[in-house]
Amino acid sequence: MERRSGLILAIVIWLIGAGVVMMGARTWLPPLASEHGAGIDAMINFTMTATGGLILLGHIVLGLFVWKFSRQDKITFRLAGPRMERRWSLAVALLVAAIAEGGVLVIGLPVWAKVYDTASPANALIIEVTTEQFAWNVRYAGPDGVFGRADPKRYSLDNVLGQDPDDPAGRDDIVDLNMIHVEVNRPVLIRLRSKDVLHGFFLPHLRVKQDSVPGMKIDFWFVPNKTGSFELACAELCGLGHYEMRGVLVVMTPDEFRKWKEEKRNG
């Protein structure tokens, strides 16, 4: 009876281990479209491979123990000495720690530092994104490179960004809704603000995610390196329209981008 249960359980455990690894070996991440994203993917893939191996090993061992020791009526090993306990525990713990801590120190934090601690290059295209329930308001500085003044006190249905009509710097600003147009291979600096609640600026293909927090102005940058349209999703619960707060990042060649800007200014 115990032998049969042990065998069945062991088979299920082995199947689970094999199943996890088979599923994990598939490609899950959306196709990559940014420069720093390669580092994030390397981090995820390293952890996937390492933990996949450990999961497989763990399930094989667990299944083996369950099967083997369900077959004996008397125990064959009773109490380990403290030294043996320490050795086995520490060996495995250090292996796991090496994977976890080693991974984050060697692969992870350099990428993290590049994403968050490094100032954006001078040629970065600066875009203001102001989130509100449930839309992305996008603003470009225009040819003068200066954003016009904006003040929450001027918020209204017609003036969603609270722009100051008397400020000359603001006259050539380009304002757009839910569409962000950028140039391929040129760094993009996003200046993120929120008008009401928390939102999350999530570009899954570009491995970009940043919460927008009311009362804060958060700058971050990335380099899109593929042309095309990429969806922008909200990744922080923001209310009943959270699920339909969709934007699009359009990555264009420099020529296309110039044309788009001109059209936008004239139209």
Partner 1 sequence: MAELAHGVHRPRSFIARYVFSTDHKVIGIQYMITAMFMAIAGGALAMIVRMQLAWPGEKWRLLGKMFPDGVEGDIMKPEFYLSLMTMHGTIMIFFVVSLALIGGFGNFLIPLQIGARDMAFPFLNMLSFWTIVPACLIMLGSFAVEGGAAQAGWTAYPPLSAVGAAVPGSQWGQTLWILGMALFIASFTMGGLNFVCTILDQRTKGMSLMRMPITIWTLFISSAIGLLAFPPLLAAAILLLFDRHFGTSFFLPSGLYFGNGLLPNSGGTPLLWQHLFWFLGHPEVYVLILPALGITLDMLPVFSRKPVFGYRLTVYCLYAIAALSMIVWGHHMYVSGMSPYIGEFFAIGTLSITVPSAIIGVNMIASLWGGSLRFPTPMLFTIGTIIMFGTGGFGGIFLGNATSDIQLHDTYFVVGHFHLMIGGVTLMAAFAGVYYWFPKMFGRMMNETLGKLHFWVTMPAFYVLFLAQHFQGLGGMPRRYFDFDKFEYLQKVAAANLHVSLTAFVLGAVQFVFLFNFFWSAFKGARSVKNPWCATTLEWTEASPAPHGNWGEQLPEVHRWPYDYSVPGAAEDFTPQTAPATVAPVTF
Partner 2 sequence: MEAAIETREAYWEGGRGPFGIGWSKLMMWLFIVTDGLVFAGFLAIYGFLRIASPNWPDRSHIFHLDFIALMTFTLITSSATMATAVGAARKGDRKTVGRFLALTIVGGAAFLGMQAYEWSSLIRAGATLEANPWGAPLFGACFFIITGFHGSHVLSGLIVLAITMARSAAGKSRPAGIELAGLYWHFVDLVWVFVFTLFYLI
- What does the binding site for partner 2 look like in residue numbers (CB under 8 A)? 78-79, 81-82
Annotate each residue in 196-215 with x if it binds partner 1 (CB under 8 A) or - if it does not, as one string.
xxx-x-x-xx-xxxxxxxxx
How many amino acids of this chain bind partner 1 (CB under 8 A)? 106
Q: How far is the CB of 155 from partner 1 (least distance, A)?
A: 5
Q: Give the one residue of 18, 99, 169, 184 binding partner 1; rule: CB under 8 A.
A: 99
Could you count the other beta carbons within 10 Å of the beta carbon of residue 254?
A: 11
Which of the choices partner 1, partner 2, none does residue 23 contact, using the CB cut-off of 5 to 8 A by kind? partner 1
Q: Does 236 bind partner 1 (CB under 8 A)?
A: yes
Q: Is 108 in the site for partner 1 (CB under 8 A)?
A: yes
Q: Which is nearer to partner 2, 26 or 78 (CB)?
A: 78
Q: Is 145 exposed, middle or buried (0-12, 13-18, 19+ CB in 10 A)?
A: exposed
Per-residue binding string, partner 1, 32-51, x by CB under 8 A, is: -------xx--xx--x---x
Which one, 81 or 267, has the nearer CB to partner 2? 81
- Residue 47 CB, shortest distance to partner 1, in Å, is 5
Q: Binding to partner 1 by residue 117, rule CB under 8 A?
A: yes
Q: Which of 25, 38, 177, 237 binds partner 1 (CB under 8 A)?
A: 237
Nearer to partner 2 by Cβ, of 82 and 267: the residue is 82
